[in-house]
Structure 1
Amino acid sequence: MAFTDKLAAAKSAPRPTRDVTVALDSAVEARRKELSDELDAARDNDDPRLAAGRDPAELQQQIDALEAEYAAALIVIRFTRLPGQEWAELTLRNPARPNVIADTIVGGYNVHAVTRAAAIVSGVIVDGDEEYSPTEAEWNDLFDTISGYEFGNVVDTVYALNQSDAQQAIELAGKALAAIHDSGRMSLPQ
Protein backbone atom coordinates (compact mmCIF):
# COMPACT_ATOMS: atom_id res chain seq x y z
CA MET A 1 0.00 0.00 0.00
CA ALA A 2 1.38 3.39 -0.96
CA PHE A 3 2.10 6.08 1.63
CA THR A 4 -0.72 8.31 0.34
CA ASP A 5 -3.21 5.45 0.70
CA LYS A 6 -1.98 4.70 4.23
CA LEU A 7 -2.24 8.37 5.18
CA ALA A 8 -5.74 8.69 3.72
CA ALA A 9 -6.87 5.57 5.60
CA ALA A 10 -5.39 6.85 8.86
CA LYS A 11 -7.04 10.27 8.43
CA SER A 12 -10.45 8.75 7.75
CA ALA A 13 -10.34 6.25 10.62
CA PRO A 14 -12.12 7.26 13.83
CA ARG A 15 -9.82 8.19 16.70
CA PRO A 16 -9.66 5.57 19.45
CA THR A 17 -11.84 6.16 22.51
CA ARG A 18 -12.06 4.75 26.02
CA ASP A 19 -14.72 5.06 28.70
CA VAL A 20 -14.41 5.61 32.46
CA THR A 21 -17.31 5.33 34.91
CA VAL A 22 -17.40 7.57 37.98
CA ALA A 23 -19.97 8.12 40.72
CA LEU A 24 -21.32 11.51 41.70
CA ASP A 25 -22.93 10.61 45.01
CA SER A 26 -20.49 9.86 47.80
CA ALA A 27 -23.26 10.11 50.44
CA VAL A 28 -24.97 7.03 48.99
CA GLU A 29 -21.63 5.24 48.87
CA ALA A 30 -21.00 6.00 52.56
CA ARG A 31 -24.51 4.90 53.58
CA ARG A 32 -24.12 1.66 51.62
CA LYS A 33 -20.86 0.96 53.46
CA GLU A 34 -22.60 1.50 56.82
CA LEU A 35 -25.43 -0.86 55.90
CA SER A 36 -22.99 -3.47 54.57
CA ASP A 37 -21.08 -3.36 57.85
CA GLU A 38 -24.35 -3.77 59.78
CA LEU A 39 -25.34 -6.69 57.54
CA ASP A 40 -21.97 -8.37 58.12
CA ALA A 41 -22.40 -7.92 61.88
CA ALA A 42 -25.96 -9.28 61.77
CA ARG A 43 -24.85 -12.36 59.82
CA ASP A 44 -21.82 -12.98 62.05
CA ASN A 45 -23.82 -12.95 65.29
CA ASP A 46 -25.96 -15.91 66.22
CA ASP A 47 -27.47 -13.84 69.00
CA PRO A 48 -29.89 -11.33 67.39
CA ARG A 49 -29.52 -9.03 70.42
CA LEU A 50 -25.87 -8.47 69.47
CA ALA A 51 -26.92 -7.45 65.97
CA ALA A 52 -29.01 -4.59 67.43
CA GLY A 53 -32.18 -6.34 66.32
CA ARG A 54 -31.45 -5.66 62.64
CA ASP A 55 -32.96 -8.22 60.34
CA PRO A 56 -30.43 -9.27 57.66
CA ALA A 57 -33.17 -9.48 55.01
CA GLU A 58 -34.29 -5.93 55.81
CA LEU A 59 -30.70 -4.70 55.67
CA GLN A 60 -30.19 -6.43 52.31
CA GLN A 61 -33.34 -4.74 50.94
CA GLN A 62 -32.01 -1.36 52.05
CA ILE A 63 -28.65 -2.10 50.43
CA ASP A 64 -30.38 -3.14 47.19
CA ALA A 65 -32.37 0.10 47.17
CA LEU A 66 -29.21 2.12 47.78
CA GLU A 67 -27.38 0.29 45.01
CA ALA A 68 -30.14 1.24 42.59
CA GLU A 69 -29.83 4.84 43.76
CA TYR A 70 -26.05 4.64 43.47
CA ALA A 71 -26.32 3.26 39.93
CA ALA A 72 -28.30 6.36 38.99
CA ALA A 73 -25.36 8.48 40.24
CA LEU A 74 -22.90 6.81 37.85
CA ILE A 75 -21.75 8.70 34.79
CA VAL A 76 -19.68 7.54 31.86
CA ILE A 77 -16.92 9.76 30.55
CA ARG A 78 -15.62 9.01 27.05
CA PHE A 79 -12.15 10.16 26.11
CA THR A 80 -10.83 10.39 22.55
CA ARG A 81 -7.16 10.19 21.60
CA LEU A 82 -5.73 13.63 20.89
CA PRO A 83 -3.71 14.39 17.77
CA GLY A 84 -0.06 13.62 18.57
CA GLN A 85 1.08 17.21 18.29
CA GLU A 86 -1.60 18.36 20.73
CA TRP A 87 -0.57 15.67 23.27
CA ALA A 88 3.11 16.61 22.83
CA GLU A 89 2.29 20.28 23.44
CA LEU A 90 0.55 19.41 26.72
CA THR A 91 3.60 17.42 27.85
CA LEU A 92 5.87 20.38 27.10
CA ARG A 93 3.64 22.83 28.99
CA ASN A 94 3.60 20.63 32.12
CA PRO A 95 7.16 19.76 33.15
CA ALA A 96 7.87 16.97 35.62
CA ARG A 97 7.53 17.69 39.31
CA PRO A 98 10.73 17.33 41.32
CA ASN A 99 11.00 14.02 43.18
CA VAL A 100 7.83 12.54 41.63
CA ILE A 101 8.70 9.10 40.34
CA ALA A 102 5.58 8.78 38.16
CA ASP A 103 6.61 11.90 36.21
CA THR A 104 10.06 10.47 35.61
CA ILE A 105 8.69 7.12 34.46
CA VAL A 106 6.26 8.58 31.92
CA GLY A 107 8.87 10.65 30.17
CA GLY A 108 9.57 13.81 32.08
CA TYR A 109 6.24 15.56 32.38
CA ASN A 110 3.60 16.08 35.07
CA VAL A 111 1.38 13.12 34.29
CA HIS A 112 -1.55 14.40 36.39
CA ALA A 113 -1.55 17.88 34.85
CA VAL A 114 -1.17 16.53 31.31
CA THR A 115 -3.89 13.90 31.59
CA ARG A 116 -6.25 16.33 33.34
CA ALA A 117 -5.75 18.91 30.57
CA ALA A 118 -6.18 16.21 27.91
CA ALA A 119 -9.33 14.95 29.63
CA ILE A 120 -10.88 18.42 29.51
CA VAL A 121 -10.28 18.86 25.77
CA SER A 122 -11.01 15.28 24.71
CA GLY A 123 -13.72 14.10 27.11
CA VAL A 124 -17.49 14.04 26.90
CA ILE A 125 -20.18 12.75 29.24
CA VAL A 126 -22.11 9.89 27.65
CA ASP A 127 -25.79 9.40 28.41
CA GLY A 128 -27.21 6.69 26.19
CA ASP A 129 -26.74 7.95 22.63
CA GLU A 130 -26.23 11.54 23.77
CA GLU A 131 -22.88 13.20 24.48
CA TYR A 132 -22.45 16.31 26.60
CA SER A 133 -19.31 18.46 26.53
CA PRO A 134 -18.81 19.94 30.01
CA THR A 135 -17.41 23.42 30.41
CA GLU A 136 -13.97 23.80 31.97
CA ALA A 137 -15.66 24.90 35.23
CA GLU A 138 -17.81 21.74 35.18
CA TRP A 139 -14.70 19.61 34.61
CA ASN A 140 -13.02 21.30 37.57
CA ASP A 141 -16.10 20.61 39.73
CA LEU A 142 -16.17 17.01 38.52
CA PHE A 143 -12.49 16.49 39.39
CA ASP A 144 -13.09 18.06 42.81
CA THR A 145 -16.02 15.68 43.40
CA ILE A 146 -14.71 12.28 42.36
CA SER A 147 -12.55 10.08 44.57
CA GLY A 148 -8.82 9.63 44.22
CA TYR A 149 -9.45 6.13 42.89
CA GLU A 150 -11.72 7.51 40.17
CA PHE A 151 -9.27 10.28 39.28
CA GLY A 152 -6.57 7.61 39.03
CA ASN A 153 -8.78 5.73 36.54
CA VAL A 154 -9.13 8.92 34.48
CA VAL A 155 -5.35 9.47 34.55
CA ASP A 156 -4.62 5.85 33.59
CA THR A 157 -7.20 5.86 30.79
CA VAL A 158 -6.14 9.15 29.21
CA TYR A 159 -2.45 8.21 29.50
CA ALA A 160 -3.04 4.79 27.92
CA LEU A 161 -5.12 6.25 25.12
CA ASN A 162 -2.57 8.92 24.20
CA GLN A 163 0.75 7.37 25.16
CA SER A 164 1.10 3.73 26.14
CA ASP A 165 -1.42 2.17 23.72
CA ALA A 166 0.28 3.83 20.74
CA GLN A 167 3.72 2.91 22.06
CA GLN A 168 2.72 -0.74 22.47
CA ALA A 169 1.13 -0.85 19.00
CA ILE A 170 4.29 0.50 17.38
CA GLU A 171 6.47 -1.94 19.30
CA LEU A 172 4.28 -4.86 18.17
CA ALA A 173 4.27 -3.65 14.58
CA GLY A 174 8.05 -3.30 14.71
CA LYS A 175 8.40 -6.89 15.89
CA ALA A 176 6.09 -8.09 13.14
CA LEU A 177 8.02 -6.11 10.55
CA ALA A 178 11.30 -7.53 11.82
CA ALA A 179 9.88 -11.06 11.61
CA ILE A 180 8.77 -10.49 8.03
CA HIS A 181 12.15 -8.98 7.14
CA ASP A 182 14.03 -11.87 8.77
CA SER A 183 11.98 -14.41 6.84
CA GLY A 184 12.94 -12.79 3.53
CA ARG A 185 9.40 -11.81 2.67
CA MET A 186 10.07 -8.08 3.05
CA SER A 187 9.03 -5.92 0.13
CA LEU A 188 10.07 -2.31 -0.14
CA PRO A 189 7.42 0.35 0.53
CA GLN A 190 5.99 2.05 -2.53
Structure 2
Amino acid sequence: MNIDDILAAAESEAPDTRTVKVCVNPAVARKRAALLEALKQAKELDAKASTTEERLGAAPAPTTEHADRAQAELEAFDDEVLKSLITLKFTRLDGERWSNLTAANPMRVDVALDRNYGYNFDAVSKTAAMLTGVRLSDDGEELLTPEQWDRLFKRLSGHDFRLIIDAVWTLNEYAPSQHIEALVKGFGAA
Protein backbone atom coordinates (compact mmCIF):
# COMPACT_ATOMS: atom_id res chain seq x y z
CA MET A 1 0.00 0.00 0.00
CA ASN A 2 1.19 3.49 -0.71
CA ILE A 3 0.91 6.29 1.85
CA ASP A 4 -2.27 7.73 0.27
CA ASP A 5 -4.01 4.37 0.58
CA ILE A 6 -2.86 3.99 4.19
CA LEU A 7 -4.07 7.50 5.07
CA ALA A 8 -7.38 7.05 3.23
CA ALA A 9 -8.05 3.85 5.18
CA ALA A 10 -7.23 5.61 8.46
CA GLU A 11 -9.38 8.64 7.60
CA SER A 12 -12.39 6.44 6.87
CA GLU A 13 -12.37 5.20 10.48
CA ALA A 14 -14.37 7.10 13.09
CA PRO A 15 -12.22 8.42 15.94
CA ASP A 16 -12.29 6.54 19.22
CA THR A 17 -14.80 7.68 21.84
CA ARG A 18 -15.53 6.98 25.49
CA THR A 19 -18.75 7.55 27.41
CA VAL A 20 -19.13 8.24 31.13
CA LYS A 21 -22.07 8.90 33.44
CA VAL A 22 -21.61 11.49 36.14
CA CYS A 23 -23.84 12.66 38.97
CA VAL A 24 -24.37 16.41 39.20
CA ASN A 25 -26.25 16.26 42.49
CA PRO A 26 -24.40 14.34 45.19
CA ALA A 27 -27.38 14.75 47.55
CA VAL A 28 -29.41 12.53 45.21
CA ALA A 29 -26.68 9.90 45.26
CA ARG A 30 -26.61 10.00 49.08
CA LYS A 31 -30.41 9.69 49.27
CA ARG A 32 -30.37 6.72 46.88
CA ALA A 33 -27.64 5.04 48.93
CA ALA A 34 -29.77 5.55 52.05
CA LEU A 35 -32.79 4.04 50.28
CA LEU A 36 -30.72 1.04 49.19
CA GLU A 37 -29.56 0.56 52.77
CA ALA A 38 -33.17 0.82 53.98
CA LEU A 39 -34.16 -1.84 51.44
CA LYS A 40 -31.39 -4.14 52.69
CA GLN A 41 -32.50 -3.66 56.28
CA ALA A 42 -36.15 -4.22 55.34
CA LYS A 43 -35.25 -7.53 53.69
CA GLU A 44 -33.36 -8.57 56.81
CA LEU A 45 -36.34 -7.56 58.96
CA ASP A 46 -38.70 -9.60 56.77
CA ALA A 47 -36.35 -12.62 56.92
CA LYS A 48 -36.13 -12.32 60.70
CA ALA A 49 -39.95 -12.18 60.96
CA SER A 50 -40.25 -15.37 58.87
CA THR A 51 -37.66 -17.14 61.04
CA THR A 52 -39.47 -16.09 64.23
CA GLU A 53 -42.74 -17.57 62.97
CA GLU A 54 -40.96 -20.83 62.15
CA ARG A 55 -39.46 -21.07 65.66
CA LEU A 56 -42.89 -20.53 67.21
CA GLY A 57 -44.15 -23.59 65.37
CA ALA A 58 -46.08 -21.77 62.73
CA ALA A 59 -45.54 -22.64 59.11
CA PRO A 60 -43.03 -20.16 57.77
CA ALA A 61 -44.91 -17.64 55.74
CA PRO A 62 -42.31 -15.56 53.96
CA THR A 63 -43.11 -11.94 54.42
CA THR A 64 -41.98 -9.15 52.15
CA GLU A 65 -44.08 -6.38 53.66
CA HIS A 66 -41.16 -4.17 54.73
CA ALA A 67 -39.06 -4.90 51.65
CA ASP A 68 -41.97 -4.16 49.30
CA ARG A 69 -42.50 -0.78 50.94
CA ALA A 70 -38.78 0.07 50.77
CA GLN A 71 -38.59 -1.10 47.14
CA ALA A 72 -41.56 1.10 46.20
CA GLU A 73 -39.91 4.11 47.83
CA LEU A 74 -36.67 3.41 45.93
CA GLU A 75 -38.52 3.10 42.61
CA ALA A 76 -40.42 6.33 43.26
CA PHE A 77 -37.06 8.07 43.67
CA ASP A 78 -35.74 6.82 40.30
CA ASP A 79 -36.95 9.96 38.49
CA GLU A 80 -34.82 12.14 40.76
CA VAL A 81 -31.83 9.87 40.13
CA LEU A 82 -32.25 10.13 36.36
CA LYS A 83 -32.44 13.93 36.58
CA SER A 84 -29.11 14.04 38.42
CA LEU A 85 -27.20 11.83 35.95
CA ILE A 86 -25.54 13.19 32.85
CA THR A 87 -24.03 11.03 30.13
CA LEU A 88 -21.02 12.53 28.41
CA LYS A 89 -19.19 11.28 25.33
CA PHE A 90 -15.61 12.24 24.54
CA THR A 91 -13.73 11.86 21.27
CA ARG A 92 -10.00 11.39 20.79
CA LEU A 93 -8.19 14.51 19.61
CA ASP A 94 -5.77 14.37 16.72
CA GLY A 95 -2.17 14.02 17.83
CA GLU A 96 -1.16 17.57 16.97
CA ARG A 97 -3.97 19.11 19.04
CA TRP A 98 -3.18 16.85 21.99
CA SER A 99 0.50 17.74 21.72
CA ASN A 100 -0.34 21.45 21.62
CA LEU A 101 -2.42 21.08 24.78
CA THR A 102 0.39 19.28 26.59
CA ALA A 103 2.86 21.99 25.52
CA ALA A 104 0.52 24.77 26.68
CA ASN A 105 0.06 23.21 30.13
CA PRO A 106 3.46 22.59 31.72
CA MET A 107 3.82 20.13 34.54
CA ARG A 108 3.40 21.10 38.16
CA VAL A 109 6.75 20.23 39.74
CA ASP A 110 5.11 19.23 43.03
CA VAL A 111 2.76 16.69 41.37
CA ALA A 112 4.27 13.26 40.72
CA LEU A 113 1.73 12.39 38.03
CA ASP A 114 2.63 15.53 36.09
CA ARG A 115 6.35 14.79 36.40
CA ASN A 116 5.68 11.32 35.02
CA TYR A 117 3.99 12.68 31.87
CA GLY A 118 5.72 16.04 31.51
CA TYR A 119 2.54 18.13 31.50
CA ASN A 120 -0.29 19.24 33.78
CA PHE A 121 -2.34 16.05 33.62
CA ASP A 122 -5.58 17.55 34.97
CA ALA A 123 -5.48 20.81 32.96
CA VAL A 124 -4.74 19.04 29.67
CA SER A 125 -7.44 16.41 30.19
CA LYS A 126 -10.00 18.97 31.38
CA THR A 127 -9.35 21.21 28.37
CA ALA A 128 -9.57 18.23 25.99
CA ALA A 129 -12.85 17.22 27.65
CA MET A 130 -14.29 20.66 27.00
CA LEU A 131 -13.09 20.58 23.37
CA THR A 132 -14.42 17.15 22.48
CA GLY A 133 -17.15 16.35 25.00
CA VAL A 134 -20.85 16.30 24.26
CA ARG A 135 -23.83 15.51 26.46
CA LEU A 136 -25.88 12.56 25.27
CA SER A 137 -29.63 12.87 25.69
CA ASP A 138 -32.80 11.52 24.14
CA ASP A 139 -32.51 14.33 21.58
CA GLY A 140 -28.99 13.32 20.52
CA GLU A 141 -25.68 15.05 21.18
CA GLU A 142 -25.64 18.46 22.85
CA LEU A 143 -22.59 20.72 22.81
CA LEU A 144 -21.91 22.48 26.10
CA THR A 145 -20.71 26.05 26.28
CA PRO A 146 -17.52 26.88 28.22
CA GLU A 147 -19.76 28.37 30.94
CA GLN A 148 -21.77 25.14 31.15
CA TRP A 149 -18.56 23.11 31.41
CA ASP A 150 -17.35 25.35 34.24
CA ARG A 151 -20.66 24.99 36.07
CA LEU A 152 -20.62 21.22 35.53
CA PHE A 153 -17.06 20.81 36.81
CA LYS A 154 -17.98 22.79 39.95
CA ARG A 155 -20.90 20.42 40.70
CA LEU A 156 -18.99 17.17 40.28
CA SER A 157 -17.53 15.10 43.08
CA GLY A 158 -13.86 14.25 42.91
CA HIS A 159 -14.81 10.76 41.77
CA ASP A 160 -16.94 12.00 38.88
CA PHE A 161 -14.34 14.60 37.85
CA ARG A 162 -11.74 11.82 37.79
CA LEU A 163 -14.04 9.66 35.59
CA ILE A 164 -14.00 12.42 32.96
CA ILE A 165 -10.27 13.10 33.24
CA ASP A 166 -9.41 9.40 33.04
CA ALA A 167 -11.69 8.83 30.03
CA VAL A 168 -10.10 11.69 28.09
CA TRP A 169 -6.55 10.71 29.04
CA THR A 170 -7.21 7.08 28.13
CA LEU A 171 -8.48 8.11 24.70
CA ASN A 172 -5.56 10.38 23.91
CA GLU A 173 -2.57 8.88 25.70
CA TYR A 174 -3.01 5.41 27.14
CA ALA A 175 -5.09 3.61 24.47
CA PRO A 176 -2.93 4.77 21.54
CA SER A 177 0.23 3.63 23.35
CA GLN A 178 -1.37 0.24 23.98
CA HIS A 179 -2.38 -0.10 20.31
CA ILE A 180 1.20 0.51 19.18
CA GLU A 181 2.57 -1.92 21.74
CA ALA A 182 0.09 -4.62 20.67
CA LEU A 183 0.91 -4.10 16.98
CA VAL A 184 4.65 -4.25 17.59
CA LYS A 185 4.29 -7.41 19.69
CA GLY A 186 1.99 -8.94 17.09
CA PHE A 187 4.64 -8.65 14.41
CA GLY A 188 7.52 -9.71 16.63
CA ALA A 189 9.32 -6.43 16.01
CA ALA A 190 9.69 -5.58 19.68
| TM-score, scaled relative to structure 2 | 0.81
Give the counterpart of 1:135 among 145, 162, 180: 145
What letter matches 1:104 in structure 2? R
Aligned residues: 173
- Between the aligned partners of 1:71 and 1:129, the Cα distance in structure 2 is 15
- Give 1:164's aligned residue: 174
**Is 2:43–2:66's contact at 8 Å kept on the other side of the alignment?**
no
1:173 aligns with 2:186: no
What letter matches 1:29 in structure 2? A
What letter matches 2:109 in structure 1? P
Query: What is the CA RMSD across the aligned residues, in angstroms?
Result: 2.2
- CA drift of 1:15 comes to 1.2
- Between the aligned partners of 1:38 and 1:127, the Cα distance in structure 2 is 31
1:76 aligns with 2:87: yes
- Between the aligned partners of 1:85 and 1:92, the Cα distance in structure 2 is 10
SS of corresponding position for 2:14: coil
- Give 2:78's aligned residue: 67
- Between the aligned partners of 2:155 and 2:109, the Cα distance in structure 1 is 27
- Between the aligned partners of 2:18 and 2:177, the Cα distance in structure 1 is 16
Question: What per-residue deviation string (whole Å, max 9, x for no partner) do you get for residues 124-170 of structure 1?
Answer: 11113511110001001111112111111111110010011111111
Unaligned runs of 5+ in 2: 50-64
- Between the aligned partners of 2:88 and 2:175, the Cα distance in structure 1 is 19
Identity of aligned residues (%): 36
Give the counterpart of 1:154 among 142, 164, 172: 164
What letter matches 1:14 in structure 2? A
Give the counterpart of 1:89 among 78, 100, 107: 100
SS of corresponding position for 1:55: helix
- Give 1:17's aligned residue: 17
- Give 1:188's aligned residue: none
- Between the aligned partners of 2:87 and 2:34, the Cα distance in structure 1 is 26
- CA drift of 1:101 comes to 1.8
| TM-score, scaled relative to structure 1 | 0.81
- Give 2:61's aligned residue: none
